[in-house]
Chains A and B, each alone.
Chain A
Amino acid sequence: DQQVKQNSPSLSVQEGRISILNCDYTNSMFDYFLWYKKYPAEGPTFLISISSIKDKNEDGRFTVFLNKSAKHLSLHIVPSQPGDSAVYFCAVSTSGTYKYIFGTGTRLKVLA
């Protein structure tokens, strides 16, 4: 059974609007959460992270929100740009381990 789920395999958003990508996890022991972006024929690249002591982390156009009670993570991109079109993976980990567990990814398409 998957411990990390990204239930939307794809998402289309108009340029300039907000993109919201969602991720759910099952284990309350996870305490570090990351988002990665992947372009075709490239490896995933780190985007933004958040630890369990926070509920929000912002970096430019990217904001990650963490709802620990709901075991839910989201990534907001605003304003969305065509260059943001990629596959986005959420990942979770637990302190003291080396296991980063990834979701299946959401393919974001930003329409010009």
Chain B
Amino acid sequence: ETGVTQTPRHLVMGMTNKKSLKCEQHLGHNAMYWYKQSAKKPLELMFVYSLEERVENNSVPSRFSPECPNSSHLFLHLHTLQPEDSALYLCASSQETFGALATGELFFGEGSRLTVL
């Protein structure tokens, strides 16, 4: 497999469920991201992991819990979500050049479409 793959592509869950989104990158990158895309809103950065360490948490509610067990895998654990959390969740990776001008383009997966009932 190549690029960034996300599973599942579609997920429907109730507000009391616990589920997880999975992302895997096959590009040898050193940073991974979760973005949220809601209708008619810009992509919102949620979390960033660099070398498996969380470096950014963009004021995301605790009902979203990220996990990065290694540089190729990223999870987003979901629990007690609200209907307004329904959105497209996009995973991305990049190769960051530390201490220099940012040159790392983001490579996105196809997204996981989440519906919370």
Report which A residues bind B (CB closer than 8 A): 2, 4, 31-32, 34, 36, 41-46, 49, 51, 53, 89, 91, 93-105
* Closest A residue to B40 using CB positions: A104
* Closest B residue to A2 using CB positions: B42
Count B-side interface residues using an 8 Å CB cutoff: 30
For the complex, what is the distance from the CA of A101 to the CA of B58, rounded to whole Å?
A: 12
Beta-carbon contact of A46 and B90 below 8 Å: no
For the complex, what is the distance from the CA of A46 to the CA of B108, rounded to whole Å?
A: 9
* CB < 8 Å neighbour of B102 from A42, A46, A93: A93
The 0/1 profile, CB within 8 Å of A marked 1, for residues 97-109 of chain B is 0011111011111
The B23-76 residues at the A interface (CB cut-off 8 A) are 31, 33, 35, 40-43, 45, 48, 50, 55-56, 58
Take A32-B103, A98-B48 as given contacts and tell me if A41 and B43 are in contact as well, using a CB distance cutoff of 8 Å.
no
* Closest A residue to B9 using CB positions: A41
